Amino acid sequence: MHAPTPPAPLIDTLRWRMPLLVKASAALHVAAGAAVIAAPATWPWALSAVALDHALVTATGLWPRSTWLGPNLRRLPAASAARGEVSLTIDDGPDPAVTPAVLDLLDAADARATFFCIAAHAEAHPALCREIVRRGHSVQNHSHRHSHTFSLLGPRAFARELERAQDALAQITGQRPRYFRAPAGLRNPFLAPVLHGLRLELVSWTRRGFDTVRRDPADVLGRLTRDLHAGDILLLHDGNAARTADGRPVVLDVLPALLTRFEALGLRAVTLPEAMQASA
C-alpha cells in the first residue's frame, strides 16, 4: 500500500476564481449598504434586494447540479464519453451489511465503481474500505460525518470536516481522495474555495435513482436508465439504502439489471480517476 500523499494547503486564495454569482452578490451587498448610507429612506428597497439575493444564493446551493457556486463535475469529459465510459458512484458507505454484496455484483460484471465514503464509517470498517480499493474501485470523500447541517457550515468548519475525512481515508486506503461529493449534494458559497485549497473537485451526477427513499427497484432502475448515455455519472447508495418490501436493500436488486443494461448499450463502468486521468 502506498503512503498517503501530503495534504495540500488549506486555501489557495491566490488562484481561486470567485464565481460570477458570488461576485454579483458581494457587489449587491456593498451597493445596498452604500445606498442606505447615502439615502436612509431607501432601506426597504435595499433590504428587499439583499433578501432576494440571499434567496437566489440559497436556492443555488440547494440545486446539487448547479455550477453557479463553483466548478461541479456533472458528466464525464467528452473523451471519456467517446470511449463509451460511464461512472457508477455509490454513496454513504461502507456498510458491512450491503457493501460486500455490492462488490460481488460489480466483480461478476467486471465493472468498476467510485465509492463516496463517509469517513467515520470507513474508520469503523477500515478492512472493508481497503477491500473496495483492493478490488479495483475508488474511494473518494463524502465528508467525515455526513451531517444534515453540512450546507450551513462556514469556511473553517468546512475545512475541518473535509480535512479530517481526507486524512482518515488516506490513512486507511493509502490513496488521498481527489473528488468530493457534498452530503445530499447541498452546499453554500463557502465550500468552493475550501475544495480548491484542498485540491478536491466537486462531483454531482447526471442521473440518480433516489434509492434511499424509493423502495421499488424497477422505479429506481427506470430513473437511472432513461436516456442513458456514455459519459453519464450515476448515483446509487450502499449506505442508507432503502429496503424493498421483503427487507432487501434496493441497490442489490437494481445493480444486476443496471450492469446488464450497460453491457447491452456497449457502455463500460470505470472509476472517476480512471475516466479523468485517461481523458487528461
Q: Dump pLDDT digits (tens) for 266-280.
A: 999 999 999 998 666
Whether pTM exceeds 0.85? yes
> What is the rounded average pLDDT of the residues 162-173?
98
DSSP of 171-230: HHHS----EE--GGG---TTHHHHHHHTT-EEB--SEE--TTT---HHHHHHHHHTT--T
The Cα–Cα gap between 159 and 195 comes to 8
58 to 64, 151, 201: CA distances (angstroms): 11, 10, 21
Ranking 28-42, 94-108, 143-157 by mean pLDDT, the lowest is 28-42
Closest CA to 117 of 146, 88, 153: 146
Q: How confident is the model at residue 18 (pLDDT cuts 50, 70, 90)?
A: confident
Domains of the chain in sequence order = 78-279 (3.20.20.370)
Q: What are phi and psi of 99, to 5 degrees?
A: -55, -45
Q: In the predicted model, is pLDDT for residue 201 greater than 50? A: yes
**Average pLDDT score over residue span 230-258:** 97
Phi (first) and psi of residue 116, to 5 degrees: -85, 100
Look over the chain and give the mean of its residue pLDDT values, rounded to a whole number.
91
pLDDT in the model for residue 53: 59
Cα dihedral 63, 64, 66, 67 sign? positive
pLDDT at 4 over 80: no
217: its cell numbers: 427497484
Amino acid at 253: D
